[in-house]
Amino acid sequence: MTPRICIIDDDKIYQFTTKKIIANAGISGEVLVFSDAENALSFFQSEANNTSILPDIIFLDINMPFMDGWQFLEAIEPLLSKFPKQIQIYLVSSSVDDADTERAAKIPYVSGYIFKPFTKEKLLDSLAHLQS
Amino acid sequence: MALPDSEILQLLTSISRELVCLHETDGTYIYVSPNSKSIIGYEPEELIGKNPYDFLHPDDRRLIFERSHQPLLRGEENIHPTFRFLHKNGTYIWLQSDNRLTTHSLTGKNYLHTSSRDISEKIESDANLALSERKFKTLFRDSPIGLVLTSTHGYIDDVNEAFAKFLGYETFELLGKHFSEISSTGELEENLRYRDSVQKGMIDHYSIEKQYVHKLGHLVWAYITVTVLRDDSGEAIYYLAQIIDIDERKKTETQLLENNEFLKATKNSLLIQNKQLQSYNQIISHHLRAPVSNLRSLLDLLKITGVEEERRELQNHLEEVTENLETVLSELITTLKIQSLENYRPEWISILLTFQKVQKLMEGEFQKKNVHIELNVTEKELVFVSKEYLETLFLQLISNSLQFADPSRELRIGVESFSMGSETTISFSDNGLGVDLSRYGDQIFQLKKTFHRQMSGKGLGLFLMKYTMESLGGRVEVRSKPGEGATFLLHFPNGSAANA
């Protein structure tokens, strides 16, 4: 199976390199990319029942304008149980602040916390969890 | 019908409070008026034929003999001796007499005539008065508490040793001085107000803490209680001030208050520094670590890519990220410069002139975008800050206004200032897009926060502005409504607080 991957991050360079890393890892298929968490949220709301369009895994940036990663998590929580499939959410950040990692650890529906830079190894590691 | 002479005499002497007697020239009683029982306890018969010297207090006998008896016999008049006389009940009473020498008109024989009254009561009260006066004098002189007696006009009539010593004077140096000459001007008004209330009889005494001027010129703290002394008719005649030296205590107290203020200021500045460090942590994470991790990713990709076209794309991105990093670094250096206040030299700067200078720098931009500036400040309105800082702050505010201008209308920028307490405030307002503060209020000065989709603000400008203001000991406030614009209030401390 080819996992459907979703990236939510306002950093264009990060989007570019992450897509390249995914492609280089041999994962084919479309990668959903959102620069704006609010747009991503309305996408999930409208496609809540669409198994073939919903991603298997979300790499969510914490620090974004308008709606940040935390606000997105809060907004999507009620939807998670309604989705026809389980979606893993990883927080991705350049922040090494303990406060951020501790906060993430307290949220049960967050699967992990990835420090930037995003690499092939980190990608494969999170996908391995997905398949198990 | 006329009474016989003897009866008239009887009547008169019995109601009189004077004991009237006739004596031989040696003093022997010949006649004693019938009221003698009520005055000295003896019936007249008990005395007639006896000599008064037997009844006089032994200490007074000689005095009577020399000062009264002998002068009378020599023919002197108006002799009024005061002496103690043995009452029949065994106690001595004080008598005062009018004594005269009288000569029988027929025989030519001399007699002594005495008329005496009991003045024991008066003598006693006089003695008490003298005693209490003596007590007061002793108390006044020897009291360890400073005591000052001033007239109702405020001139010093008497001071004791303790008070003189407290102020470094000799007692006589203070006599006749007006109390205001030795009082600090600080509490003078309060003191006079109380004295006035006392004089009007509204209060009888008051206590205040006041400062006196020591002979050497410095001020000393005292706790004083002032009591008014009145005469029989209730008229104030003297003020008695009791002065306790509280100089040591006050100085310790002042020192403690100062230390407390200093600790509070230190605590505040530590809190601000702590907040700033947290913000700094944020900058490092997002503004530095993010582009650096991008660099790493781009370089990793460059290593494994063989396609020339892809390499060029990666290189372009590398350049972009590097430029971004350089910008962020220079902004961070600016922030660090602000933080090190050692070289910060604030002065009173004209708000108008500084703004006009910045306006000139931005003239091209203003004309291109058709910006309207309203300056409601005069050249005389000043703010305590360094010139470069104020210029930087204006540049940040202007670029913020330009960035968030509402494209559907001409941008208007207004500047005014006002002073309140120990602060001077510059108000900078625009009619731009505004911000929904109920939604973003707590985030507006945070990093990398932008609030308008069509804009790509990095959010560093407002962060830097807040940072700058807090480093100067001031603060910044924002008021805004979406669609109406925003007003920034920059509160500058006037003077020393800036260095706290």
The yes-or-no verdict on residue B451 having pLDDT over 50 is no
Whether B290 sits inside 8 A of A36 (CB atoms) is: no
| Cβ-based neighbour number of residue A128 at 10 Å | 9
Q: Can you give the residue ranges of every domain in chain B?
A: 18-120, 127-246, 251-339, 344-492
Task: Render pLDDT for A50-68 as a digit per residue (tens, 0 to 9).
Answer: 888 899 999 999 988 778 8
Nearest by CB to residue A17, choosing from B282, B301, B451, is: B301
Count up the domains in chain A and report the number. 1
Among the listed ranges A50-64, B49-63, B461-475, which one has the minimum average pLDDT value? B461-475
Nearest by CB to residue A13, choosing from B285, B304, B321, is: B321
Q: Give the residue from B134, B23, B38, B50 showing the smallest Cα distance to B93.
A: B38
Fold of B251-339: Helix Hairpins (1.10.287)
Fold of B127-246: Beta-Lactamase (3.30.450)
Whether A16 sits inside 8 A of B459 (CB atoms) is: no
Among B280, B288, B294, B321, the residue to mutate for chain A (most A Cβ within 10 A): B294
Cα separation, B309 vs B179, whole angstroms: 98
Cα separation, B161 vs B142, whole angstroms: 7
pLDDT confidence of residue B335: 64
pLDDT confidence of residue B2: 64
Among the listed ranges A61-70, B349-358, B417-426, B446-455, which one has the minimum average pLDDT value? B446-455
Output the DSSP codes for B273-335: HHHHHHHHHHIIIIIIIHHHHHHHHHHHHHHH---HHHHHHHHHHHHHHHHHHHHHHHHHHHH
Q: Tell me whether the CATH fold assigned to B18-120 matches the one assigned to B127-246.
A: yes
Cα separation, B241 vs B354, whole angstroms: 59
| Cβ partners under 8 Å of residue A22, min gap 6 | A5, A31, A123
More confident residue, B283 or B321: B321
Q: Which chain A positions have a beta carbon within 8 Å of B453's beta carbon? A: 36, 66
Class in CATH terms, B344-492: alpha beta
Task: Render pLDDT for B181-219 as a digit per residue (tens, 0 to 9).
Answer: 898 887 777 777 887 887 777 888 888 889 999 999 999
Q: Give the residue from B167, B159, B182, B135 showing the smallest Cα distance to B241.
A: B159
The yes-or-no verdict on residue B287 having pLDDT over 50 is yes
Nearest-Cα residue of chain B relative to residue A115: B293
The yes-or-no verdict on residue B447 having pLDDT over 60 is no
pLDDT confidence of residue A56: 93
Two tokens, residue B451: 């609030």
Is residue A65 less than 8 Å (CB to CB) from chain B?
yes
Whole domain around residue A117: which residue ranges? 5-129
Nearest by CB to residue B448, choosing from A20, A63, A119, is: A63
Q: Which chain A positions have a beta carbon within 8 Å of B296's beta carbon? A: 117
Q: Give the residue from B136, B138, B140, B151 showing the smallest Cα distance to B239.
A: B151
**Nearest CA-CA distance, residue B465 and chain A, Å:** 19
Asked whether this complex has an ipTM greater than 0.90, the answer is no
pLDDT confidence of residue B202: 80
Classify domain B18-120 by CATH number.
Answer: 3.30.450.20
Q: What CATH number did the domain enclosing A25 receive?
A: 3.40.50.2300
pLDDT class of B106 with cuts at 50, 70, 90:
confident
**Nearest CA-CA distance, residue B469 and chain A, Å:** 24
Whether B449 sits inside 8 A of A21 (CB atoms) is: no
**Mean model confidence pLDDT for chain B:** 84
The yes-or-no verdict on residue A117 having pLDDT over 50 is yes
Residue B24: what residue type?
E
Per cent of chain B over pLDDT 90 is 35
pLDDT confidence of residue B494: 85
Task: Render pLDDT for A8-28 as a digit per residue (tens, 0 to 9).
Answer: 998 889 999 999 999 999 888
Q: Which chain B positions have a beta carbon within 8 Å of A14's beta carbon? A: 290, 293-294, 297
Q: Quote the crossing angle between the two packed helices B247-282 and B460-471, to the nearest 10°.
A: 160
The yes-or-no verdict on residue B456 having pLDDT over 60 is no
pLDDT confidence of residue B9: 72
Whether A17 sits inside 8 A of B298 (CB atoms) is: yes
Task: Render pLDDT for B347-392 as a digit per residue (tens, 0 to 9).
Answer: 899 999 999 998 988 888 888 888 999 999 988 899 998 888 888 8
Question: How many beta-carbon pairs under 8 angstroms link A with B?
Answer: 66
